Structure formats: structure tokens, C-alpha cells
Amino acid sequence: MIEYYDISGCYIIRDWAMMIWDIMKEFFEKEIGEMGVDKCMFPLFVSKSVLNKEKNHIAGFEPEVAWVTKAGKSDLEVEIAIRPTSETVIYPYFSKWIRNRHDLPKKVNQWSREFYWQEGHTAFATKEEADVEVSEILEMYRRIYEEFLAVPVIKGKKSELEKFAGALYTRSVEIGVMVMVHGDEKGLVLPPKVAKWQVIVIPVPYRDANTQEIFYACAATVKTLRKAGIRAEVDKRDHYTPGWKYSYWEMKGVPLRIEIGPKDLVNNQVRAVRRDNGVKMDLSGVSLVEQVKELLGKIQESLFDSAKQRRDACIQIVTTWDEFAEALGQKKLILAPWCDEEEVEKDVKERTKGDTGAAKTLCTPFDQPELPEGTKCFASGKPAKKWTYWGRSY
């Protein structure tokens, strides 16, 4: 999916990863377009003077800021930075474009071309309007993670200590990484919705079989699937054995493998093998498209359900410090009653420092369990105000 580059932190994004990016981008652009969000692209560079106008906001990014000080062999008169975020670049121009309340709301979206992220920037007449927009966009993020990447998330609000630098508040979806969530010892396991190839068709010829007829059937199968909107490909390489190809495409994470051999031709069927669980089945050629679509849907659903079960099994509810420390040592995702005080959060970080990192708040979930009257904060013993997720920062 990626290739390492000779500059630290930079990678070559290969075709499989780009397909995932493009699919998510296509979905997101359609959704925000219906919300009246305009496209834009701002420069990569920002001057030192402009960057310093928002010192509080930039403080959280300062250690990672890359500076450009030369052009050829000459020193630049003014140092410029590769922008770590775009607020300081975009909002001075908002002040030019927004002259009165009739110019509101102003909504723009930028796809960052250097780090591959999406960032939206908006201006509204009221905080209430902005709050609604935040909630709607957060729901889109949830849909991308859960509906496309099959990764379950927890929607919530960051603590004051963990919120985005300079923000009034930060809402988030706490997630795992798709590759790590679904992958196994054989390699990638890609959800069908984002896989470059949803189906790989492999010819399985035998010595006395009509090889040409098998290859023709494979090509015809791919053509039929593609016509139905299914991303399918045939592996026509004749210098590799079918077994080698099975392993190769399993490593690449293709959701469904179709094998076609002599017996399949006789019976007007194909052999299908799921990547997520290895289950094999014969599919009739008469209703192949319908069966493949159904299988891909089941694979997508199964990946999400399996990931959610594993995620939920890792969540530990605690009410005391001793329970918290034990769960932390077991690398659990911890849900605990908290007094919502910044000094207590700092104290938890200090008390849990170790070689593998300190514990921190992840988010306060919007879906709050009942908090019985008199519940104490697990860390301070003060009255608890909310349930909050905690975990170790590795």
C-alpha cells in the first residue's frame, strides 16, 4: 500500500492505498457538496509572521513545523514554514471575503495534497449553527469509518487538555487502524467497499484441460462482474501456479477469490473463497452477479461485526484507581467516572508514566451510561460528572 521514502515521515502512496483514499474522497465530496461546502486549495507555505499571529494555536504543532530558509544557495529574507495546519493561512482571507452577515455562512473544504488529509473551514453567524455543522461532519466521519472501513468508532468530546490546539472544543471519533483491525497473519483483509479489486478471478487449469477455454471463461466472468459495477480482475499470469496466486491475493487482501477450473466449466459454476474467514462455496453461473453482491455485503458486515466484538471485549468499566491501574496494565480501553478536572487528568498522566507511555483521556462519549447519584471520580474521589474513556498513549 505504501513504499518508504528516503525522507523521514514521507511515503510513496501506491495504487491500493490511493484507491481507498479516492473512494472515501468521492463519498465525502458528494455529502459536503449537498451541504453547500465549496472546494478550495491554499498554498503549502506560510510566512513566519503570519504563523506567529496565532501563537497559542500553533503551540501544539511547534515541534513538528518544518522551516524553509534557502532558495538555491541564497538565504531567504523571510523564513517560511510548511503549514502544520491551515487556520493561520485561511482565516485572514475569510476576513476579506466576509464583509457582512449576508456573506454567511462561508464553508470551504481543502484536500491537503502533501499529507493526505481533509480539512473543512467554516464561518457562521452564530455558535449554534457552527455546533450543528460540527455534529453533521462528525457523523460523516463515523460513516466513513464504520460503513466503508468497517471499523467501529466511539463518538465523543475531547477533554480540555486533549482538545485541538486553539479550539473552543474538539469532538472526535476514537478508532483503530483499518489494516491492524482486520489484517491477519496472511496479510491485509480489505473491506469490499474500499478494496481496489473486490473480486480476483483465478484460472485453475489441469494438464489435460482446455486451458484456453478456462481463460476465456475467466475473462467473461470479469466482464460480467464489471458490467454490474463490481471491481473485478483476472490473474492471467501463466508463470505462477494457482496456489501461488491464492497466497499473493490473500496477502493483498482481496475480499473474494473466484476459481474456475475444468469441472466448473462443465457444471456452469465457479468456486468462491472468502478472504475474511476462508469459507469456500460453489456459485451458479446463472445468478453469479447476485450471489457475488450478496457475498460482498456479508463480508463487509462480518468485518464490522467482528471488529466491534473485539473492540467491546477490550473495554473495561472501572470505578476505582486500583481497578483502573489493573485494566491499564492489561492494555484495556477503560471507561471510568471522572470529575472532569484538568489537574486530575494531569495527575493521572503523571502517576501512570512508564516505558510504554502514560494514560490519557480519549473522549467523553456522547452516549453516556447512567451515572448513579453519589458516584465518585476513580482518580480523585471527588463527585464524578461524566463517564470518560481512558487509554495509554504508546
Residues 191-238 have pLDDT tens digits of 999 999 999 999 999 877 789 999 999 999 999 999 999 999 999 999
Would you say 344 and 387 are in contact if contact means Cβ atoms under 8 Å apart? Answer: no
d(CA 121, CA 99): 17
Q: What are phi and psi of 121, to 5 degrees?
A: -135, 130
pLDDT in tens, 259-281: 999 999 999 999 999 999 999 99
Positions of CATH 3.30.110.30 in the chain:
315-392
Residue 281: partners with Cβ closer than 8 Å, 6 or more residues away: 271, 272
Rounded Cα gap, residues 386 and 193, in angstroms: 36
Residue given cell 477469490 in the structure block: 257
Tell me the H-state helices in the chain: 15-34, 48-51, 55-58, 87-97, 127-143, 178-182, 211-227, 242-252, 262-267, 288-313, 321-329, 342-351
Task: Write down the CATH number for the domain with range 315-392.
Answer: 3.30.110.30
Q: Which of 5-9, 227-231, 370-374 has the lowest mean pLDDT?
A: 5-9
Predicted local distance difference test score (pLDDT) of residue 209: 79
Q: CATH 3.30.930.10 in the chain, residues?
A: 18-182
Contact between 261 and 206 under an 8 Å Cβ cutoff? The reply is yes
**How confident is residue 284, by pLDDT bands cut at 50, 70 and 90?**
very high
Which has more pLDDT, 254 or 58?
254
Residue type, 259: E
- Counting other chains too, the contacts that 284-289 makes at CB distance below 8 Å and 24 or more residues apart are 288/221, 288/224, 288/225, 289/224, 289/225, 289/228, 289/230
Residue for grid cell 504508546: 394
Residue 244 scores a pLDDT above 80: yes
For the stretch 56-86, pLDDT in tens is: 666 666 667 888 999 999 999 988 988 877 8
**From the centroid of its chain, how far is CA 306?**
17
Average pLDDT over residues 6-13: 87
Level-2 CATH architecture, domain 199-307:
3-Layer(aba) Sandwich (3.40)
Strand order in the sheet with 106-112: 38-39, 106-112, 117-123
Indicate the pTM of the whole model. Answer: 0.92
pLDDT in tens, 162-173: 998 788 999 999
What pLDDT score does 60 carry?
62
The rounded percent of the chain whose pLDDT value lies above 90 is 80
Note if the bond before 365 is cis, omega within 30 degrees: no
Dist. CA 239–CA 226, nearest whole Å = 26
How far is 146 from 389, CA to CA, in rounded Å? 19
Task: Read off the amino acid at residue 322.
Answer: D
Domain(s) labelled CATH 3.40.50.800 in the chain stretch across: 199-307
Chain mean pLDDT for the chain: 93
User: Residue 296: how many CB atoms within 10 A of its CB?
Assistant: 21
Q: Which residue has the cell 538555491?
A: 72
For β-strands 106-112 and 38-39, DSSP reports them as parallel
Mean pLDDT, residues 297-308 taken together:
98
The CATH superfamily assigned to 18-182 is: Bira Bifunctional Protein; Domain 2 (3.30.930.10)
| Cα separation of the two ends of the chain | 24
- Tens digits of per-residue pLDDT, 76-112? 998 898 887 788 889 889 999 999 999 999 999 999 8
